[in-house]
């Protein structure tokens, strides 16, 4: 009888821990679309993207940061919803790159900085809401498309 109580208690704790995980971090999402657009930051790739006048998003993050994970989930859904996006995402670990944190003015691990070429055109931190992030990204992609038409 004692074994049954221990097993039952262990199951209850496991279910509660799983529920807490889902509350904090959310359900798993397919991030393969995001992974096709995202890479770790490196100077050479970033400089080349700027020279090519690409639309660039710098995504600061911290491992196991709930807000960072929510932000990353929004970005993953963005590339699912807009598979033709030309946005290029560079990811920077906030804790491991203090020089880049200072360079891009990241105030916390949820900082997003967008460039078109060398021109910074959006900066935000702490934003995890889908409509706000989508709006900024779609607006930037629309304006990038307009600039591309003007150059033709």
Helix (H) or strand (E) holding 122: strand 119-124
pTM (predicted TM-score): 0.77
Mean pLDDT of 107-126: 94
pLDDT of residue 22: 52
Q: Which residues contact 132 (CB under 8 A, 6 or more apart)?
A: 124
Mean pLDDT of 58-85: 92
Cα 83 from Cα 79, distance rounded (Å): 5
Angle 81-87-84 from CA coordinates, rounded to 5°: 45
C-beta atoms surrounding 40 within 10 Å: 9
The tokens of 136 are what? 């900024």
> Do 97 and 84 meet the contact criterion of CB atoms below 8 Å apart?
no
The tokens of 34 are what? 């995001």
pLDDT of residue 21: 54
pLDDT tens digit sequence for 2-59: 877 777 767 777 777 666 555 555 555 666 778 888 999 999 999 999 999 999 999 9
């Amino acid at each position: 009888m004692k074994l049954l109580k221990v097993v039952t208690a262990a199951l209850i704790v496991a279910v509660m821990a799983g529920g807490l995980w889902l509350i904090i971090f959310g359900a798993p999402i397919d991030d393969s679309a995001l992974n096709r657009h995202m890479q770790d930051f490196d100077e050479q790739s970033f400089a080349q993207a700027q020279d090519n006048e690409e639309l660039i998003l710098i995504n600061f993050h911290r491992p196991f940061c709930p807000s960072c994970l929510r932000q990353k989930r929004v970005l993953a859904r963005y590339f699912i919803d807009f598979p033709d996006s030309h946005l290029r995402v560079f990811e920077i670990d906030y804790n491991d790159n203090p020089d880049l944190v200072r360079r891009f003015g990241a105030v916390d691990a949820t900082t997003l900085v967008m460039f078109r070429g060398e021109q910074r055109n959006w900066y935000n931190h702490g934003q995890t809401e889908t409509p706000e992030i989508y709006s900024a990204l779609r607006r930037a992609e629309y304006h990038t498309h307009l600039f591309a038409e003007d150059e033709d």
